[in-house]
Amino acid sequence: MTCEQVLSVDVTENNAGSFPIGVRILVVESDPTCLRIVSKMLQVFGYEVKTATRATDAMHILREKEDEINLILTETHLPDMDQYEILETVGELSSSPIVVFSADNNESTILGCLFKGAELYLVKPVIKNDVKNLWQLTYRTKLKTAVSGEGSNTFHGGSAEQNTSSLTVGNPASTMGMTDQKGKRKELEETDNDHEYIDNLTAPKKSKLVWTNELHNIFLQALRIVGVDGAHPKKILQHMNVPGLKKENVSSHLQKYRLYLKREQDGMQKTAVLHQHLIHKEGSLNTQTRNSS
C-alpha cells in the first residue's frame, strides 16, 4: 500500500472553517509524498503549514521563527536524527506542543515518544479527524498568552500618572517638584536598564541538557545499581559520574522515567486482563461445541 493510499485526503471546502483558522503548524516528514498529502489536508482545514524534510531543517526553522510556530507535527523516523533525540531537541527549542505521526504502532515506541515529550501519537494512516482538532492542543498556550498580555496592559495602564496629575493641578511649584523627581527616577531607571543589558550580554548562557540515548543508557545502568524503588537523584548522579550533569537534571529525568514505567505497567495489566478474557471466552465456546456435538 502506497503512502497516497493510506493518507487519503477525504475533505472538502465545506469542512473548513468550523474551528479557529490560522494555527501555524510545522510538518516534518522525509517522504515527499506523505509531506505533500498531510500538508494539503491541514491547509484545507485552515491551518498555515511550514514544511521540513530533515530534522536539521526543522531545527533551523524553529530557531529563526519560533514565535511563528504553534504546533510541531513530526515523523520520528528521519534520516539525520534519532527518533527520541528529535523530540528532546525540539522540546528544548520550542514550547509548542509536539505531535508524532508514524506507521510504527509498537506500544513501547508510542510510550517512549510520550515519555520524551510528545503530546499526542498518531498512527498512520492519518485521517481528517486526526488533524481537524489539533488546534485544541495550542488553545491552552494561546489562552495563557492572551491572559498574560491583558494583565500586563492593565498593570501599565498609567493610572499612577493620572493620579499624580490630579494632585498637582493648579500648583505650579508642586508640578515642577514632581517633574524633577520624575526626571531623576527616569534617569536612574535608564541607568539600571543599561547595567542589566550589559550584564545580559556578558553573562554566559546556560546550555540546556539533552538526554541522548548514550546518556539515557548511563542513567539506566546507574538505576540498576541503586534500584528503582530506592533510587535517589544524588545516588544516581554519583554512579553516573558525568561532567556537567546536575542533581536537578537527574531528578527531572527520574520522575519522567517512573511515570513511563507506570504507564507501561498499566498497559501490560490491561493486556493481561484482555488475554485472560479471550482465553475464558474461547474455553466457553469449546465447551458449547462439545455439548452440542
- For residues 25 and 133, membership in a common domain is answered with yes
Q: Helix count (H) and strand count (E) of the chain?
A: 12, 5
Diameter of the chain measured on Cα atoms: 113
Q: Are residues 122 and 196 in the same domain?
A: no
Q: Are residues 95 and 123 in the same domain?
A: yes
Lookup: cell for 76: 520520528
- Residue by residue, pLDDT tens for the chain (293 residues) are 445 444 444 444 444 444 557 899 999 999 999 999 999 999 999 999 999 999 999 999 999 887 889 999 999 889 988 888 899 999 888 989 999 999 999 988 898 899 999 999 999 989 888 999 899 888 766 665 555 555 444 333 333 344 434 333 444 444 444 444 555 455 555 555 555 544 444 445 556 678 888 888 888 888 888 887 778 888 888 888 888 888 888 888 888 888 887 887 777 777 777 667 667 666 666 666 666 66
The pairing of strands 71-74 and 48-52 is unpaired
64 and 42 in a common domain = yes
Distance CA 47, CA 11 (A): 14
Residues 61 and 22 in one domain: yes
Residues 191 and 219 in one domain: no
- The residue segments making up the domain with residue 115 are 3-137
**Residue 138's closest CA among 203, 84, 73, 229?**
73
User: Within this chain, do residues 180 and 111 fall inside the same structural domain, yes or no?
Assistant: no
Residue at 171 is within a domain? no
For residue 243, what are the contacts with CB-CB under 8 A and spacing of at least 6? none
